[in-house]
Amino acid sequence: MKLGLVIDLDVCVGCHACAVSCKQWNTSGTTGPLTDYQPYGEDPSGVWFNRIRHYEVGDYPHNKTINFPMSCMHCEQADCVDVCPTGASYKREEDGIVLIDQDKCMGCNYCSWACPYGARELDRESGVMKKCTLCVDRIYDENLAEIDRQPSCVITCPANARHFGDFDDPNSNVSQLTRERSGYQLMPELGYKPTNQYLPPRLTRPVPTDDVKKKSLISSIKEWTNKAIAR
């Protein structure tokens, strides 16, 4: 098996719900806690397995906002595992999930240097490295209903932008989606062969703007006044 995620950049609305639910599930999971530093202080920070960034692609007026969730890609050529000197990092034979044995890690940060996708974060509190587990403590749990045996982020996503499945099976939902929607890998030139695939935005017809009426003098003045006067 080659388990991984498909992320649909066409429909992701950038709500960060996946990251929050990831944190909620995993902080009490096998690699928890996901420590927070000064959660109520001025500069709250902490460990996250999933981060969403926001980009502008193209130039106005042909531009588009792309919300970009990223977590561990469970790479086939996972250098993060090869460079780890203690053997704390490992890739499971049976399903390709990359994990860190919290009892073996010495907190040298070396694996995070080898990861191009920023998927590994050191927990300063416990001094060990942490990363996405693909919810390994959920997906095989037979006490959960079938539908719940998926990563927390996938179930949570309100836009249905995240899909979980086996890429080794050509008929799985993730293989089909990747095929039909031209899914791609990030930074393929580095040769890590990331398992997670990203679906590009669908082509849409541009919204015509030539029939938009020019602004009247009055509305221009109103707009200017609104900007100029501090509330």
Q: Which of 1, 155, 159, 186 binds ligand SF4 (CB under 6 A)?
A: 159
Cα separation of 90 and 140, whole Å? 19
DSSP codes joined into one string, 26-79: HTTSTT----EESTTSSS-EE--S-EEEEEEES-TTS-EEEEEEE-----SS-H
Please report how close the Cβ of residue 184 comes to ligand SF4 at its closest, in angstroms.
15
Question: Contacts with ligand SF4 in 192-211 (CB under 6 A)?
Answer: 192, 194
- β-strand 64-70 against 89-91: which pairing, if any? unpaired
**Residue of 146, 101, 133, 105 whose CA lies nearest to 29:** 133
69 lies in the binding site for ligand SF4 (CB under 6 A): yes
Among another protein, ligand SF4, none, residue 188 binds (CB under 5-8 Å by kind): another protein
Q: Which of 23, 120, 163, 181 binds ligand SF4 (CB under 6 A)?
A: 120
Please give the C-alpha separations between residue 186 and each of 13, 47, 86, 87, 208, in angstroms, as whole numbers: 20, 23, 28, 26, 32
Q: Which residues bind another protein (CB under 8 A)?
A: 16, 42-45, 47-48, 51-59, 62, 65-66, 68, 70, 79, 81-88, 103-110, 112-118, 121-122, 124, 126-128, 184-192, 198, 200
Which residues of this chain interact with ligand SF4, rule CB under 6 A?
12-18, 52, 67, 69, 72-75, 78-80, 84, 86, 88-89, 98, 100, 105-111, 115, 117, 119-120, 129, 131, 156-157, 159, 161-162, 192, 194
